[in-house]
Structure 1
């Protein structure tokens, strides 16, 4: 008898908690760098090699990976709630310079839901960690769990579930902010569509301010759901509340408000 039911798609592996995902990505880059550097040896004399630039090209590839390693280290630090001041001190630059240098990378990390990019074969974090463990053991015998041993959520399904729920909440909050932006546009236009003396003008301004208060609440929740951007989200929430208070007080709030999304 023929069945009309489609085979059930296997569930994708649940990612680790964001900090462990960041550590796993960092460990992979360490491996990539080590593999390239070890490829420089043994020394091969190439005085007669007509193709110039090969050695420099290989070294520059390592430098590019080293920059990636630094960026991944910054992601780890932000997941550990390090301040931009602390990161600036570590790099020998100012807090503002550290923010300018790496904040876009933190934004990108949150946009991919704070999880590493991996090939389909290594999508399962347990398989990825085991692969790195095996590689490291080949270099340093006696360290069978050099990577997996430090990934706390790998052995804690509850922590992975809780982290994934925060990822889902963050996505929902961004959808909510998109909806509120449309409501803000409509409320702004309604507030200026009729003379200020209109009997309903006060109600319209209250509704307009209410949208900004709702946006502030969404940013407050994002500050909890996305720890690496907590300070930015809190600033956005404060800006939205300031705009709302200006609207209620009859002060100019700028073109359709400002601050955050």
Structure 2
């Protein structure tokens, strides 16, 4: 068992949550920013410091937050088991367009270890802060974020440990870049096949990019078949 402490909210303390929970918390964090920004923009009284450009600045800020919110929602959908085809249908666009819009943020998410960026306030604290903020808006409503986290459930600790192992394995695979040179077709083909194997494993470890990893692995295997010398007649 981990020695991570348990918070009052019932979530195992500092350290990354399971990827879906991390995505939910990131989404909730931006939702709170949207709500606060919109709330602050509503009063029309010309108070101190509210110049003629205040409303435009607030609207632009909301537009930026809305774009971030959609990116977070796409990550939540993919972490929750949706496919890019599902995302495209929900967005009312073609799959290629959906990928064109949001594949970058999804890759950034996976590249960060399928968690909110390290170095910021940890997700457990953020979830608790959003709980407290929402409770201030709707008194009596408890755990609006933390109560829905897998990491807070009975199997949460085991799920987090499994996620930690998956992150570590994925990081190790990304650090490994098999060699092989053009001078040796056999060695190069072997390196390509090893990379393909790594990508196929990453497809399991990083579901949001699974189809991308599988497609790249297929291309590497096809290339390996081309560069490997054909066996001689003797």
Q: Which structure's relative contact order is higher, taking Cα pairs within 8 Å and 6+ residues apart?
A: 2
Gaps of 5+ in 1: 1-9, 192-204, 251-261
Whether 1:154 and 2:152 are equivalent positions in the alignment is: yes
Measured after TM superposition, the shift of residue 41 of structure 1 is: 3.3
Task: Tell me, in whole angstroms, the C-alpha distance in 2 between the residues paired with 1:208 and 1:129.
Answer: 48
Deviations 1:37-59 (A, max 9, x none): 1112332158xx99422211111
For 1:35 and 1:151, locate their aligned partners in 2 and report how far apart those are by CA, in whole Å. Answer: 23
Tell me what 1:196 maps to: none
What are the Cα deviations for residues 4-36 of structure 1, in whole angstroms up to 9, with x where unaligned?
Answer: xxxxxx999220001100100110111111111
Moved over 6 A (4+): none
Deviations 1:94-149 (A, max 9, x none): 100000110011111111111113775x32x3322211111111111221111101
Q: What does residue 174 of structure 2 align with?
A: 174
Partner of 1:194: none
Please report the TM-score for the alignment, with normalisation by the length of structure 1: 0.77
1:226 Cα deviation after fit: 0.8
In structure 1, what is the equivalent of residue 198 of structure 2? 218
User: Judging changes above 3 Å, is the alpha-carbon distance between structure 1 residues 215 and 67 closer, same or farther for their aligned structure 2 residues?
Assistant: same
Aligned residues of 1:224 and 1:230 also touching (Cα < 8 A): yes
1:108 paired residue number: 108
Does structure 1 retain, via aligned residues, the 8 Å contact 2:87–2:98?
yes
Alignment map for 1:124-203 (pairs within 5 Å) = 125-155=123-153, 156-177=156-177, 180=178, 183-184=179-180, 187-188=181-182, 190-191=183-184
Q: Is contact 2:14–2:124 with CA below 8 Å preserved after alignment? A: no
Q: Which moved more, 1:67-76 or 1:37-46?
A: 37-46
- Normalised by the length of structure 2, the TM-score is 0.86
Q: What is aligned with 1:7?
A: none
Distance between the aligned counterparts of 2:107 and 2:151, measured in 1? 23
Counterpart-to-counterpart distance in 2, 1:118 and 1:68? 18
Larger radius of gyration: 1
Matches within 5 A, 1:1-261: 13-45=14-46, 51-117=51-117, 120=120, 122-123=121-122, 125-155=123-153, 156-177=156-177, 180=178, 183-184=179-180, 187-188=181-182, 190-191=183-184, 205-248=185-228, 250=230
CA distance 1:118–1:211, shift in 2 (3 Å): closer
Cα distance in structure 2, aligned partners of 1:77 and 1:90: 10
Gaps of 5+ in 2: 6-12
Question: Mean Cα displacement is larger for which, 207-216 or 62-71?
Answer: 207-216
In the aligned structure 2, how far is the partner of 1:69 from the partner of 1:27?
9
Distance 2:84 2:127 in 1: 29
Give the paired residue count. Answer: 217
